[in-house]
Structure 1
Amino acid sequence: MSEGLPEGYPRLAEADVVLRDGTVCRLRPIKPSDAEAIHRFHAGQSDESIYLRFFAPMRQLSARDVERFTHVDYRDRMALVATIRGEIIGIGRYDRVTPDSAEVAFNISDHYHGKGIGSVLLEHLAAIAQERGITQFVAEVLPQNRKMLSVFSDAGYEVSRRYEDGVVSLHFDIEPTAQSLSVRLAREHRAEAQSVHSLLHPASVAVIGASRRERAIGHQLLKQILDAGFTGTVHAVNPEAGEVLGVDAVRSVRDIPEHVDLAVVAVPAPQVPDVVRECAEVDVRSLLIVSSGFAEVDEEGDRLQREVLRLARDNGMRVVGPNSFGIINNDPAVRLNATLTPTIPGDGHLGLFSQSGALAIANLDSAARRRLGVSAFASAGNRVDVSGNDVMQYWIEDERTHAVGLYLESMGNPRKFSRIARHLASTKPVIVVKPESGDFGSPPGHAVRRPKVKPHAFSAMLNQAGVIRTENVHQMFDVAQLLLHQPLPTGRRVAVVGNSSQLTALSADNAAARGLQVVHGPTSVRTEATAQEFRQALDAAFADEQVDSVIVCFIPPVGALSKDVVGAVRHASRRSDKPCVATLLGMRGVDVDPGDLVTREEDEEGAGHPQRAVPIYPMPEEAVRALAHATDYGRWRDKDRGEPVTRTGIDRAAARAVIERVLAEDPDGRALTTDEAHELLAAYGIDLWLRVEVETADEAVAAAETVGYPAVVKSLSPVVRGQSYLEGIRVDLTDADAVRRAFEGLDKRLAPMDANYLVVQRMAQPGVSCVLSTIEDPLFGPVVSFSIAGAPTDLLEDIAYRIPPMTDVDVRELVDDIKSAPLLHGHRGTRPVDRSGLEDILGRLSLMSDDLMELASVELNPVMAHPDGISVLGADIQVATAQRRIDPGARALS
């Protein structure tokens, strides 16, 4: 027992969860000290609810009942409570009835029905039960208890029912299925999207710290809210003023006569916790904390930040900030500018997210100068709660947002980011600016775990999710102005048209360098050509059936750019369904006001066509780069993204038994023995070839008789592993004398280097030696990698990465992504290796790494891929005590 917690209390089971209505509740294991809270909870329930739960009119619980409810062993008997403001609003429990099944039951407060609490408790209990070897839940429910029956039926499990003696008996396997996973993610999406919707669509806003001093932050925030024409009600909180900017001021948020949806907090950091408590008392939904002086400053600020987060979540609130630049919602029905800048882009279709306040100003200014309209904007500041993941959940459903740009200085939950971004990118472009950093260094105030994987694993994750990564803000807007105002390219074939042979050649070279195929041109009209001649050349490019996109570049021969030229580009573009990018001297942005995009234009034949804006760039490189990004994204959108990886012949219980046995002996973890590695991999259908460690020539001969001839003797020392083929290995040994000579020769050569760690193994069929690995990364969670053994891995770092859960397409692309992949496909006349066998093992490895958090690392090396199959010749596996994943198997806020 520690810190007053009962023995065995599982801290990893604690979680904050967003409910269906966007509020937050706390889930935690039950404790003996909850006895009084259980009595209060029960006393607040209706007679009907009590009967439905206990099948009897138990108006009061006995002391014996409460003791049984609150005293559990957290393994065979487990109970979770859901709380808001410290009060229990829901209870879920299971009791093991057989080695692999448990009876599950729930009790939800009458005041909180319809918020999805039962579903959340079921998800978390199922995840905990699986870790304890339970594979099936059973339950008994009265037939009139439709709400509880729906909790089970709507969870995505295959539920069997039997009606007997007036009770519905249910049983179902709790191993996640494609359907149950889909249900969980859909519920998480709806809840988190609703919480951000409440934040961005408040009916009432209170500015706490609204000052009469013009340069004060609170004064500026109130001014921007009023000047933007916020459609709801605005309140000023200032204990020393009667009014601020014409708004009546009150001493505390508690004195506001109506409910407050959003509290904008601009008071000194030490005062913020008290402000949060006051907001909790009057049930404020969301907090925007602009105040600085938190974790970005010192340890005391970090303590304050953690206190604010705990207070907010314990009281059901979401928090943006602290140290946030603010939020914007340009929806005409809201018109909210709760930022520190009066100059914001007009209403449009680009969603923007930024962590840094300084960069937020740059982002908004750049969007405004380019005439890019913004639908909504959020600055996370220290990102204590609401993050880019939450805002992306909102943008998935927001009809006003057509593309998304995110500036990420750090990433707290890349695993969750990957799956949300993949969902969003399937319908709307997601453009990310993430500064390159060898150690993923985060700015002050951002709580980020330090990763173990190499930085390009992050890029692989973005590619897997269909995210467009750019190097800076300018490039982000270069891509955004194209994707917002032009159709997606349907292919890589481009036409290049201009009035300068040098400029068109430069554009064509850039296009080819970025993987685009120049199939029309480069065409250059004469420098003095009229707008009509230029227009004819453009029309020909757009009319070419072999062309997917058109690149235009024009330099005015004398003076300013002719409006007729801009009109010619606009006219040609709007008559076609092919995207167009234009390089026009001295211009950047879009050529019409975004507000005109909904209008229609009549051409000479009188046919109506939707009007589009042409994205304009000052240099060809920028135009081509944006077009290449858009083309790659269009290809990702169109491709088959596959089905979730599944494999037969997996015994998860057997694998978990191996892990638990090892950690029971060595709680800090260790490397698995050869026998343990065989047992673990076999549970996931991976056949590890037997290899025998030997210290003498006689042992080597005996081992060869065991594994069979032809045999190999090789060193496992890292000093020689992956070096010259004959440096640490002797192959094709067909008898005892050959084995003896091989052992003695290697032992003599390698002993001076202390590299004579020798094993004997049956000789595998020749092929391509591969390395298949997974690591449990503190930041990313499980990361699967693939490479060719030797120099490609050790020297060139030619390694591909993917983040589970994976699809069959992810697995295929993991193999294809390495530069040395041609070695697998029949290089220089060799036969191609068994790709399906290789992908099968990678899929099994991804499932194993996703299932078992205790797997600190797994390296299958060498894995010999040959035309007739795959041979796994070696495995190094390290296990360690599980740490809570940032994105666990059940819904939870980070």
Structure 2
Amino acid sequence: MTESGTPTEEIGPPPTHWEADVLLRDGRTAHIRPIRSDDEQLMVEFYARVSDESKYYRFFSPMPKLSERDVRRFTHVDHRERVALVMILGGRMIAVGRFDVVRPSEAEVAFLVEDQHQGRGIGQLLLEHLAQAGRERGVERFVAEVLPDNSRMIQTFRDAGYRVASEYADGVVTLEFPIDPTDTAIGVMHDREHVAESASIHRFFHPESVAIIGASRRQDTIGQLLVRNLVTADFTGRVYVVNPSATAVSGMPAYKSVNEIPDDVDVAIVAVPAEAVTDVVLDCAAKGVHGLIVISSGFAETGEEGRHRQRHLVGLSRSYGLRLIGPNCLGVINTDPGVSVNASLSSVMPARGRAGFFCQSGALGSAILEKVKNRGLGISTFVSAGNRADVSGNDLLQYWEEDEATEVVMMYLESIGNPRKFSRIARRVSMRKPIVAVRSGRTTQGVPMGHTVRQISAPQAAVDAMFRQAGIIQVDTLEDMFDVAQLLAHQPLPRGRRVAIVGNSDALGLLAADAASAVGLLVNRSVALGSDATAEDFEDALDEAIDDPDIDSVIAVYIPPLNVSGDEVANVLAAVGEQSDKPLVSSFLGAEGIPELLRVPDVAGSTAGRGSVPSYPAVEAAVRALALVVEYAVWLRAPDSLPSDPGDVQPAVARQMVQRLLVDRQEEVQLDRDQVTELLASYNIDLWPAVPISSLKEANAAAKRLGWDVVLKATRESVRERPDAQHVWRNIDSTTEMKEAWGTLNGMVPDPADAAFVVQKTAPAGVPVSIRSFEDPLFGPVVSFGISGPIVELLGDWSYRIPPLREHDVAAMVREVKSSPLLFGYRGAEPVDIGSIERLITKVAHLQNDLPEVSALELSLALAGVDGVTVLTAAARLAPVRDPRPDSLVRRLPDVTLTLPG
């Protein structure tokens, strides 16, 4: 491939976000950054390791070594017309990709990857990051010249998801493709992300060898506990212990360092003092260890010094290709008998089950495993991520999506580092497997010490909406999570909300019926068998309920009479539960979990098989769990609608306008009305004309220009949101009426000089609605909808969603606010045009999703009538984007340099 351009000096530093840790196809990490002028020696060493064949494919001629001029030309770029990115692993350059602008909006792109690292998806990653850099520099199209037999490189371009056109001439294939991120290209990127992140977690759960670094001979130490837990769990792989001051630990030979171990090591469990962990990372990197489980504390949870130590730990681990769980974590468990690994501090090795579990708190993780054991729930795999410095819940979701042993996902979340990505992945996983989540800090938005997250400005309701949008079953407590998970793990999903209640206690039956009605379930059948009911009576009643086509779920309540064991009824419940295609839940003897009597044997060796009947100590808990599962089943059966269509919009025009207004700006910009009108017009949103006025004379002139039948109103928020201050006068049709309106409003508004009066043409009648959007540092774009007015504001009656939105997301936004009946003919009023509201929400959502520079947009007053929506009042603010959105158009691991809360 030819090289265009001449050597130039660097002109200013490249953007900091061009630097990123990335995950390769095999699950190992590397680092991408812009090339630097001091990379000359790295470039020479890298080129020397590249094979002659790869050099020929790159330069179309034998080029065994680079001249000094070549080295300088490749390493000195201006980061604008000539951009080069390198991939670094273990301090060595292993790949370089670059583009050179050859004509306006078009650049020539090329790659060179060290042979031993080819086939790891490096070219695809470099192409993603170069394309994003190109888009930021105004490049619209890449061209590449490739030799015909360089099939690997040709395939890299074709697999990228772009629309590639090719041409063959003079023995060279020329490929051309626009780098605009199409849905196909984004889908390809997400698929590769899934493969890499799943692969990086697989080795933690399926290691063939584990080294315990910090193993100890002394009892009651963490190092001894880790050895004991791993051995007593009957781990099927090899166990090695590392202790520089011992010759043996627990009867096994001790090695002074991991490098002395004669065999390969997949996973290292680190339990040494925090200040010694860095040396361990370097040893493990030299050994070729895949991943680290850092049990050691003394990191970000301890304060600023610990935060610095944690950032260094993560950066060092990633720079050598290592993934990291922790630090300050409990560890990892896999109950698969083919592995049986307990690489954790928990002495409880849970039984085999169908639920995967992710949590962050180590102390809480121990209690959770004890609870799992007591309930007879069982788990497939377990991870306690501690400070979640590297491996996160997103990584685990990627793994569990394909894991056949995991049918239900449980998550205890103390923070979400990338909720936009979490929402995207969780939505996909939820289509296949239910996710039950508890999120701490829901009220305070608090985050534990040690967790690296961006600040959040979105309200609690927006976070909850994101969970619902992704199909996640969000519960308030750990008890609720187990209640729901045991139902999902052992019973089929319900088809609808209709339930039957069968029991031998009238009082408990009534409690169950009341509880069901309170959570939106429909009680279509209630059978009171009486206290002397036999097992046969229960069997007949349960069979009738399950055979009833108008019943979707059955709740069984059994309180035995005196001196009766209930074993016969338990056998009936278990038999019915095993055969039923409808969920059966029970309150059996006040028991919690999956009692032995209600378990169905499982051929896979799980604690309880499919069809086992979950029991709840209170009927209210049973009903609450069933209702949450019903909501998930309803979400699951909702049509997977297409992404909402904004219609004829011009995002490029809006983007040019935003860039023009933000040139040389470092602070937020408040748009005037004309600028807001221009911005909205690019998304086909018409803002009703308004004329600002400051005197009666100007008001009359404006009204005359608009043709009278106008409105005089104060637009300052401090005035229009006060219920005790009249701020609008409608249907003004003459100078006399304007004089009266002007005098009255000026007398009623607290500060007329600051009221920001305008004159507008009278709009068609309708219900006032409001649509807002803003850019959150953590979530990215957020959109909300509500009925306008101070009372609604006071009650917080808003619906929220995180773009991009699907059609049913938009429809749900309109219908889930409590005041929505006002839109559907409340008290005999004519229903408004709901479709026009949904189209307006869709346009706002696309605008906010397309333009992260829009820090806030508010259509504070829009009248929804029978023939459409009229937008009367709008405001917008712009702000420079200093950091890319958490879930950007390139694959990158979370930035370890982010400021930690606390």
Q: TM-score range by the shorter chain?
A: over 0.9
Q: How many residues align?
A: 881
More displaced 10-residue stretch of structure 1: 222-231 or 862-871: 862-871
* 2:572 maps to 1:573: no
Check conservation: 1:723, 1:790, Cα contact below 8 A. Answer: no
1:45 alignment partner AA: V
SS in 2 for 1:366: helix
1:125-174 residue CA offsets vs partner (Å, 9 max, x unmatched): 22233333333323222222211221221122222222223222222232
Check conservation: 2:574, 2:600, Cα contact below 8 A. Answer: no
Shift of 1:118: 1.4
User: 2:552 aligned to 548, 553, 556, which one?
Assistant: 548
Q: Which residue of 1 aligns with 2:765?
A: 766
1:48 alignment partner AA: E
Shift of 1:560: 5.5
Mapping 1:174-323, distance limit 5 Å: 174-323=179-328
SS in 1 for 2:244: coil
Check conservation: 1:138, 1:169, Cα contact below 8 A. Answer: yes
User: 1:382 aligned to 376, 381, 387, which one?
Assistant: 387
| Aligned mates of 1:144, 1:761 — CA distance in 2 | 68
Shift of 1:572: 2.2
| Aligned mates of 1:599, 1:285 — CA distance in 2 | 29
Mapping 1:367-378, distance limit 5 Å: 367-378=372-383
Could you say if the C-alpha distance between residues 165 and 826 of structure 1 is closer, same or farther in structure 2, counting changes exceeding 3 Å?
farther
Could you say if the C-alpha distance between residues 393 and 366 of structure 1 is closer, same or farther in structure 2, counting changes exceeding 3 Å?
same
Could you say if the C-alpha distance between residues 5 and 829 of structure 1 is closer, same or farther in structure 2, counting changes exceeding 3 Å?
farther
2:316 alignment partner AA: L
1:318-364 residue CA offsets vs partner (Å, 9 max, x unmatched): 11000001110111121100111222211121101111111101111
Q: Which residue of 2 aligns with 1:727?
A: 726
Point out where structure 1 has 5 or more consecutive residues left out of the alignment: 601-609
Shift of 1:878: 1.3
Q: Which residue of 1 aligns with 2:488?
A: 483
1:106-137 residue CA offsets vs partner (Å, 9 max, x unmatched): 22221211111111122222223333333332
User: 2:566 aligned to 556, 562, 566, which one?
Assistant: 562
Could you say if the C-alpha distance between residues 826 and 157 of structure 1 is closer, same or farther in structure 2, counting changes exceeding 3 Å?
farther
SS in 2 for 1:615: coil
Q: Which residue of 2 aligns with 1:836?
A: 835
SS in 2 for 1:81: strand
* 2:451 maps to 1:452: no
Shift of 1:5: 9.7
| Aligned mates of 1:201, 1:798 — CA distance in 2 | 48
* 2:589 maps to 1:585: yes
* 2:14 maps to 1:9: yes
Q: Which residue of 2 aligns with 1:871?
A: 870
> What RMSD in Å do the two structures reach over aligned CA positions?
2.1
SS in 2 for 1:311: helix
Check conservation: 1:218, 1:266, Cα contact below 8 A. Answer: yes
SS in 2 for 1:212: coil
| Aligned mates of 2:565, 2:657 — CA distance in 1 | 73
More displaced 10-residue stretch of structure 1: 537-546 or 505-514: 537-546
Q: Which residue of 2 aligns with 1:526?
A: 530
More displaced 10-residue stretch of structure 1: 713-722 or 54-63: 54-63
| Aligned mates of 1:75, 1:761 — CA distance in 2 | 47
2:174 alignment partner AA: S
SS in 2 for 1:150: helix
Check conservation: 1:133, 1:653, Cα contact below 8 A. Answer: no
Mapping 1:610-759, distance limit 5 Å: 612-724=611-723, 727-735=726-734, 738-739=737-738, 741-750=740-749, 752=751, 755-759=754-758
1:542 alignment partner AA: I
Q: Which residue of 1 aligns with 2:818?
A: 819
1:413-462 residue CA offsets vs partner (Å, 9 max, x unmatched): 11111111111111111000112533310111112222111112111111
User: 1:470 aligned to 460, 472, 475, which one?
Assistant: 475
More displaced 10-residue stretch of structure 1: 676-685 or 777-786: 676-685
Check conservation: 1:784, 1:846, Cα contact below 8 A. Answer: yes
| Aligned mates of 1:725, 1:162 — CA distance in 2 | 72
Q: Which residue of 2 aligns with 1:425?
A: 430
Check conservation: 2:100, 2:108, Cα contact below 8 A. Answer: yes
Could you say if the C-alpha distance between residues 524 and 594 of structure 1 is closer, same or farther in structure 2, counting changes exceeding 3 Å?
closer
Check conservation: 2:233, 2:349, Cα contact below 8 A. Answer: no
Shift of 1:850: 1.9
Shift of 1:207: 0.5
| Aligned mates of 1:215, 1:638 — CA distance in 2 | 52
| Aligned mates of 2:366, 2:400 — CA distance in 1 | 21
Could you say if the C-alpha distance between residues 387 and 544 of structure 1 is closer, same or farther in structure 2, counting changes exceeding 3 Å?
same
Could you say if the C-alpha distance between residues 740 and 126 of structure 1 is closer, same or farther in structure 2, counting changes exceeding 3 Å?
farther
| Aligned mates of 1:276, 1:394 — CA distance in 2 | 24
SS in 2 for 1:617: coil
SS in 2 for 1:363: helix
SS in 1 for 2:784: strand
User: 2:39 aligned to 21, 34, 37, which one?
Assistant: 34
Check conservation: 1:225, 1:338, Cα contact below 8 A. Answer: yes
Check conservation: 1:19, 1:25, Cα contact below 8 A. Answer: yes
1:565-618 residue CA offsets vs partner (Å, 9 max, x unmatched): 101111222232111001012311114497822389xxxxxxxxx962011111
Shift of 1:816: 1.7
Could you say if the C-alpha distance between residues 343 and 829 of structure 1 is closer, same or farther in structure 2, counting changes exceeding 3 Å?
same
Could you say if the C-alpha distance between residues 319 and 776 of structure 1 is closer, same or farther in structure 2, counting changes exceeding 3 Å?
same
Could you say if the C-alpha distance between residues 823 and 168 of structure 1 is closer, same or farther in structure 2, counting changes exceeding 3 Å?
farther
Q: Which residue of 1 aligns with 2:58?
A: 53
Q: Which residue of 1 aligns with 2:6?
A: none
Shift of 1:771: 1.4
| Aligned mates of 2:127, 2:564 — CA distance in 1 | 68
| Aligned mates of 1:244, 1:182 — CA distance in 2 | 50
2:429 alignment partner AA: L
* 2:848 maps to 1:853: no
| Aligned mates of 1:239, 1:625 — CA distance in 2 | 54
With normalisation by structure 1, the TM-score equals 0.95
SS in 2 for 1:474: helix
Check conservation: 1:371, 1:594, Cα contact below 8 A. Answer: no
Shift of 1:763: 2.4
More displaced 10-residue stretch of structure 1: 120-129 or 471-480: 120-129
With normalisation by structure 2, the TM-score equals 0.94
1:100 alignment partner AA: S
Point out where structure 2 has 5 or more consecutive residues left out of the alignment: 1-8, 895-902
* 2:543 maps to 1:539: yes
Shift of 1:6: 6.5
| Aligned mates of 1:853, 1:366 — CA distance in 2 | 44
Q: Which residue of 2 aligns with 1:784?
A: 783
SS in 1 for 2:343: strand
Check conservation: 1:720, 1:755, Cα contact below 8 A. Answer: no
2:551 alignment partner AA: V
More displaced 10-residue stretch of structure 1: 731-740 or 107-116: 731-740
Q: Which residue of 1 aligns with 2:125?
A: 120
Check conservation: 2:746, 2:752, Cα contact below 8 A. Answer: no
| Aligned mates of 1:262, 1:162 — CA distance in 2 | 48
| Aligned mates of 1:152, 1:611 — CA distance in 2 | 46
More displaced 10-residue stretch of structure 1: 26-35 or 283-292: 26-35
Could you say if the C-alpha distance between residues 94 and 713 of structure 1 is closer, same or farther in structure 2, counting changes exceeding 3 Å?
farther
Q: Which residue of 2 aligns with 1:344?
A: 349
1:343-402 residue CA offsets vs partner (Å, 9 max, x unmatched): 221112110111111110111111111111211000010010111111111000000001
Q: Which residue of 1 aligns with 2:331?
A: 326
SS in 1 for 2:712: strand
